[in-house]
């Protein structure tokens, strides 16, 4: 199989399993993005409470904290049946939201979203492990980039569709749409041609098994700096995100202008997803991640300039730069981790990378009430840039992107 370094579509989509995976990501991602938007609106309409509406996002994010524990499930059973089972569980769970018709049943929305989030952690861990065995190793960077493109593309399209469906049929209509997308994704995953042996009986207790992923990440000289840089980046990204409405005020626009900035940022993320495979092969994971972090940091600092063109360029630059460390870290984890512990290692990495985003959001929301947003951005940009320095200064060679075979990356 060829591994072109100029355009990622042909080699990835010529691989049957890669194409099926990406189709599953597009289908299920569409329903998930629609539900994320509508759940908060639905709760707001039923209760009139902004706080309860905001809790919808927290309910979906909270299970990420248990990522190392939930990820262990992906290493105790075959990943393809687990992936199919999780999709069927969510397809069966979502119709229970038809019972939500008044404020006193809003608790059911939170319960479903919490289970949804927990199932998503298991799903992502199983998918990361299964992808590493089903997708040829040289194509992992291309696949993860296109996966990012698919996710960001759905974030641009699905909220509009979800809002329209909600206006016409209410929350249950969106829940039904999401359930149908999980059923369709189940069919796609069932068509994967993946041969999996039954995992060996686990050694040690549950706590010992859970800790293996964290220990592997910490001891690995290539994975540790990437995961730590990812976590720091998402901390800064959360902080920056909390300042967005203050930036918009400085531009003299209404809060609705955030939609324009987010759309431009999403377009940047779609673009880098298409180009990440060739970029990873040329630069290696560390330099690719470092360049992305540096670009995002500079863009964050320049947002202090009250100018519409600057704000739009910075949003596009953030969209291009921010995904780089996420794609690099996930690809490195898939390439470097033994198959037997890949599920819990990937889930642990996701916890370490994405949990700081919530902390950054909270810190930014508090400080923007106390300090001038231009001062905060002027400090954030250089501080964020420091995260990229160790990756860009590294004298290590780019990670092996095409030399290893799938069996090398995934020892039994």
Which pLDDT tens digit goes with each residue over 162-200? Answer: 878 888 888 899 899 999 999 999 999 888 887 776 766
pLDDT tens-digit series, residues 223-281: 999 999 999 999 999 888 888 888 888 888 876 677 788 888 888 988 898 888 888 88
Task: Please give the backbone phi and psi of residue 198, each rounded to the nearest 5 degrees, phi first.
Answer: -70, 135
Q: Residue 218: is its pLDDT beyond 60? A: yes
pLDDT confidence bin for 6, thresholds 50/70/90: very low
User: Do the domains 1-194 and 208-398 sit in the same CATH topology, yes or no?
Assistant: yes
Return the number of other C-beta atoms located less than 10 Å from residue 371's C-beta: 12
Give the CATH superfamily of 208-398: MFS general substrate transporter like domains (1.20.1250.20)
One DSSP character per residue, 192-251 reads -----PPPPPPPS-HHHHHHHHHHHHHH-TTHHHHHHHHHHHHHHHHHHHHTHHHHHHHH
Domain ranges of the chain: 1-194, 208-398
201 vs 39, higher pLDDT: 39
User: Which residues make Cβ contacts (< 8 Å) with residue 269, sequence separation at least 6?
Assistant: 148, 149, 152, 319, 320, 322, 323
Residue 155 in tokens: 């974030």
Q: Residue 296: is its pLDDT beyond 80? A: yes
* 291 to 5, 282, 323: CA distances (angstroms): 18, 12, 11
* Dist CA 290 CA 163 (whole Å): 37
pLDDT of res. 203: 62
Q: Residue 47: is its pLDDT beyond 60? A: yes
pLDDT of res. 355: 86
9 vs 299, higher pLDDT: 299
Work out the mean pLDDT of the chain and round it to a whole number: 82
C-beta separation of 56 from 40 below 8 A: yes
Q: Residue 379: is its pLDDT beyond 70? A: yes
* 271 to 14, 148, 274: CA distances (angstroms): 20, 10, 5
pLDDT of res. 228: 93
pLDDT of res. 373: 87
pLDDT of res. 396: 45
* Dist CA 90 CA 391 (whole Å): 39
Task: Name the residue with tokens 């290692």.
Answer: 345
* Dist CA 277 CA 152 (whole Å): 17
C-beta separation of 293 from 324 below 8 A: yes
Return the number of other C-beta atoms located less than 10 Å from residue 15's C-beta: 19
pLDDT confidence bin for 395, thresholds 50/70/90: very low
CATH topology of domain 1-194: Growth Hormone; Chain: A; (1.20.1250)
C-beta separation of 37 from 155 below 8 A: no
pLDDT of res. 162: 81
**Three-state DSSP class for 394?**
coil
pLDDT of res. 8: 44
204 vs 79, higher pLDDT: 79
CA dihedral 207, 210, 213, 215 (to 10 degrees): -20
Least confident segment among 11-15, 290-294, 314-318, 325-329: 11-15
Is the model's pTM score more than 0.85? no
Highest-scoring range by mean pLDDT, 127-141, 290-304, 335-349? 290-304
* Dist CA 193 CA 190 (whole Å): 8
User: Which residues make Cβ contacts (< 8 Å) with residue 280, sequence separation at least 6?
Assistant: 141, 145, 288, 327, 328, 331, 401
pLDDT of res. 11: 67
User: What average pLDDT does the segment 295-312 reach?
Assistant: 92
Q: Residue 2: is its pLDDT beyond 50? A: no
pLDDT of res. 4: 42
């Amino acid at each position: 199989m060829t591994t072109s370094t100029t355009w990622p579509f042909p080699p990835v989509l010529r691989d049957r399993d890669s194409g099926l995976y990406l189709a599953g990501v597009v289908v299920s991602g569409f329903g998930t993005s629609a539900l994320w938007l509508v759940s908060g609106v639905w709760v707001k309409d039923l209760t009139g409470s902004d706080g309860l509406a905001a809790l919808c996002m927290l309910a979906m994010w909270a299970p990420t904290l248990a990522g190392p524990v939930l990820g262990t499930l992906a290493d105790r059973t075959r990943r393809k049946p687990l992936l199919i089972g999780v999709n069927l569980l969510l397809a069966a769970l979502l119709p229970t939201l038809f019972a939500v018709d008044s404020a006193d049943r809003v608790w059911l929305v939170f319960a479903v979203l919490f289970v949804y989030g927990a199932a998503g952690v298991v799903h992502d861990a199983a998918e990361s492990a299964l992808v590493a065995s089903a997708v040829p190793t040289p194509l992992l960077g291309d696949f993860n980039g296109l996966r990012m493109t698919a996710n960001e593309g759905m974030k641009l399209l699905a909220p509009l569709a979800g809002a329209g469906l909600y206006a016409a049929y209410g929350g249950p209509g969106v829940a039904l749409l999401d359930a149908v997308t999980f059923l369709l994704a189940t069919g796609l995953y069932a068509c994967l041609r993946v041969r999996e042996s039954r995992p060996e009986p686990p050694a040690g207790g549950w706590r010992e098994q859970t800790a293996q992923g964290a220990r592997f990440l910490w001891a690995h000289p290539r994975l540790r700096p990437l995961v730590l840089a990812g976590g720091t980046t998402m901390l800064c990204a959360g902080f920056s995100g909390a300042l967005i409405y203050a930036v918009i005020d400085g531009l003299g626009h209404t809060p609705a202008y955030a939609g324009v900035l987010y759309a431009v940022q999403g377009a940047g993320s779609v673009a880098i997803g298409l180009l990440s495979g060739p970029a990873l092969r040329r630069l290696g994971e560390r330099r690719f991640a470092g360049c992305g972090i540096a670009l995002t940091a500079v863009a964050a600092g320049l947002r202090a300039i009250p100018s519409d063109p600057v704000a739009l360029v910075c949003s596009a630059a953030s969209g291009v730069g921010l995904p780089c460390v996420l794609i690099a870290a996930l690809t490195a984890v898939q390439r470097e981790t033994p198959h037997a512990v890949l599920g819990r290692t990937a889930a642990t990495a996701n916890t370490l990378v994405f949990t700081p985003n919530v902390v950054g959001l909270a810190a930014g929301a508090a400080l923007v009430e106390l300090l001038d947003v231009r001062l905060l951005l002027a400090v954030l940009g250089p501080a964020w840039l420091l995260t990229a320095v160790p990756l860009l200064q590294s004298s290590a060679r780019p990670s092996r992107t095409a030399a290893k075979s799938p069996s090398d990356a995934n020892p039994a």
